[in-house]
Chain A
Amino acid sequence: MIDHPDYGYDIAAVRADFPILRQNHHDNVPLIYLDNAASSQKPLQVIESIEQYYKGYNANVHRGIHKLSEEATSAYEGVRKKIRKFINAGSRREVIYTRGTTEGINLVANTWGREFLKPGDVILSTVMEHHANIVPWQILSAQIGTKVMYVPILPNGTLDMDAYERLLRDEPVKLVAVAHVSNVLGTVNPVEDMVKKAHEAGAKILIDAAQSAPHMPLDVQAIDADFLTFSSHKMIGPTGIGVLYGKRDLLEEMPPWMGGGDMISTVTLQGSTWNDLPYKFEAGTPSIAEAIGFGAAIDYLSNLGMETIHAQEQRITAYLLERMSEVPGITVFGPEADQKGAVAAFVVDGAHAHDVAQLLDAEGVAVRAGHHCAMPLHTELGVSATSRASFYLYNTYDEVDILIEALYKVQKTLR
């Protein structure tokens, strides 16, 4: 076994911040939580920030003149500024609150897509996308006559960049919709290069950052993304809140999506005018407690440092892949550790993914089994389902070892 390098931070202190990690999964079997790509656990700092809001200053935002509403508004808008900094957006007005990644993509489809795409235009997605970055484009295309095409992958699980360039050249591509990091293969896509090429071809690009924002530093201006979207719950924050970043000029041109309170400037019985950015896209009472919790999550991640977190995840991914390669009869999908996020989707010869996950669960190891909302990718890989172990900042090398031991047990049981 290799010598474990340092974590780059106090791993024991980090783990102590996450109450759920202290509990046993079953009697005398500790929890090894390896389903972080689906959703992450939450530290006390996040949980307590929500409790403080509900106990101390719960009120609606933007409308009230009373002290509680002012406090709630300050906290809620303060988080927007934190997010701006976290992703280096040019302005807080480019930070639109959503329920999560899925809503961010649907917002772009229903506003920018409906306004600016014409019948025959191509939306270029990829075969490795989560359904959230496929289905909205299919729905839109059925409604307005656009066409969805997909960049294929190479056998090593990376995007076929030659095909990407060819499609951009030969097809009337108006929008590229691509994941920054695949939630199954872990592939880190070369988004800066893809953005450049999309722009050269006259297309806009939307980046699904659901699996990158939690794990690496993001700079939307350096990437030059037109749209970028992610979810709080995958980055130690609450469910029900996420972000759509959009370039200001694009957001200004886009019509609103949902109508209601907060998004208007004036309303008459004949018609309405829209509020300024970002409120134009934020109809109705938002997820206030969740936004405040998200702010605490961003503080937590920023205090550790996204570079530090990313470096540690790369080390643990390298260790994980090395250890998995020792186990005979296991196939891990996706590229080598240096091109990969902390995700390993795998199959065990002769065993269905659900059975694998069930037996791992008995050992205290929580992984996910299925198609992980990426059915086209699984079809491409020629498997109906995979098991997926995905890591985060609180996972340890010891937990990798426990996973490996458990996999040996699974093999014995199912053989």
Chain B
Amino acid sequence: MHDLYREIILDHAENGRNWGLLEPNDFDHEEHNPLCGDTLHLTLRIDDEGIIREVGWDGSGCAISQASASMLGERLVGMPLKDAMQIDKQEVLDEIGIPLTINRVKCALLALKVLVVGGMGKREWERIEDEEEDDS
């Protein structure tokens, strides 16, 4: 079990960092993982320079999706929103740090999906999701 669910994942999942929606906010988006019903809701406060100052998550779902939201949220604080849109999906998967199979990747990337779809739309997310997939 411990190989699969590293301590840090369980910790993030149980004690989600930056949990609780922000009101008012400058960014507000929610996404679902249709395969298993996980939901994540992200709110951000962004300053005049476009830098993310506060992150507020809410949601429910598996340890992987909730932990990846918590981990991603920590990275976002202090980051310009436009840089956040460029976060590499592989980095997010690497941070989870356990092998993920095809159905679980969706859980691990749900947090990034909320951010990208909310910031740049569904098409951009689908482009990212499909990267490197087509030549396999």
User: Smallest Cβ distance from B125 to chain A, in angstroms?
Assistant: 9
Check: A156 CB closer than 8 A to any chain B CB: no
Chain A positions within 8 Å of B126 at CB level = 91, 93, 276-277
What residue of chain A has the Cβ atom nearest to residue B101's Cβ? A70
Chain B positions within 8 Å of A63 at CB level = 35-36, 103
Chain B positions within 8 Å of A279 at CB level = 34
Contact B136 A266 (CB under 8 A): no
Chain B positions within 8 Å of A74 at CB level = 101-102
Known: A265-B32, A275-B34. A84 touches B134 (CB 8 A): yes
What residue of chain A has the Cβ atom nearest to residue B36's Cβ? A63
Check: A331 CB closer than 8 A to any chain B CB: no
- A65, A81, A277: the one within 8 Å of B133 (CB): A81
Chain A positions within 8 Å of B32 at CB level = 265-266
Complex Cα distance, B136 from A78, in Å, reads 8
Chain B positions 72 through 113: 1 when the CB is less than 8 Å from some CB of chain A, otherwise 0: 000000000000000000000000000001111000000000
Complex Cα distance, B32 from A276, in Å, reads 11
User: Smallest Cβ distance from B94 to chain A, in angstroms?
Assistant: 20
Contact A266 B34 (CB under 8 A): yes
Chain A positions within 8 Å of B122 at CB level = 276
Check: A69 CB closer than 8 A to any chain B CB: yes
Interface residues of B in 33-91 (CB under 8 A from A): 34-36
Check: A98 CB closer than 8 A to any chain B CB: no
What residue of chain A has the Cβ atom nearest to residue B136's Cβ? A81
Contact B103 A69 (CB under 8 A): yes
**Interface-centre pick from B102, B122, B126, B134 (highest chain A CB count, 10 A):** B102
Tell me the total A-B contact number using a CB cutoff of 8 A. Answer: 46
Chain A positions within 8 Å of B134 at CB level = 81, 84-85, 91-92
User: Smallest Cβ distance from A374 to chain B, in angstroms?
Assistant: 37
Check: B23 CB closer than 8 A to any chain A CB: no
Check: A64 CB closer than 8 A to any chain B CB: yes
Contact A91 B130 (CB under 8 A): yes
Interface residues of B in 119-136 (CB under 8 A from A): 122, 126, 130, 133-134, 136
Complex Cα distance, B42 from A197, in Å, reads 48
Complex Cα distance, B130 from A74, in Å, reads 14
Chain A positions within 8 Å of B130 at CB level = 91-93
Contact A73 B136 (CB under 8 A): no
Complex Cα distance, B131 from A92, in Å, reads 11
Chain A positions within 8 Å of B104 at CB level = 65, 70
What residue of chain B has the Cβ atom nearest to residue A61's Cβ? B103
Complex Cα distance, B126 from A93, in Å, reads 9
Complex Cα distance, B133 from A81, in Å, reads 8
Complex Cα distance, B39 from A266, in Å, reads 10
Contact B36 A73 (CB under 8 A): no
Interface residues of A in 190-220 (CB under 8 A from B): none
Check: A169 CB closer than 8 A to any chain B CB: no
User: Smallest Cβ distance from A387 to chain B, in angstroms?
Assistant: 44
Contact B102 A73 (CB under 8 A): yes
Check: A77 CB closer than 8 A to any chain B CB: yes
Contact B103 A64 (CB under 8 A): yes
Chain A positions within 8 Å of B101 at CB level = 67, 70, 74
Complex Cα distance, B102 from A69, in Å, reads 9
User: Smallest Cβ distance from A58 to chain B, in angstroms?
Assistant: 16
Contact B35 A62 (CB under 8 A): yes
- For the complex of A and B, the 9 pairs showing the least CB-CB separation, nearest first, are A70-B101, A265-B34, A275-B34, A73-B102, A74-B102, A266-B32, A265-B32, A62-B35, A70-B102
A-B contact list, 10 entries, CB within 8 Å: A62-B103, A65-B104, A69-B103, A70-B102, A78-B136, A91-B126, A91-B134, A93-B126, A266-B32, A276-B34
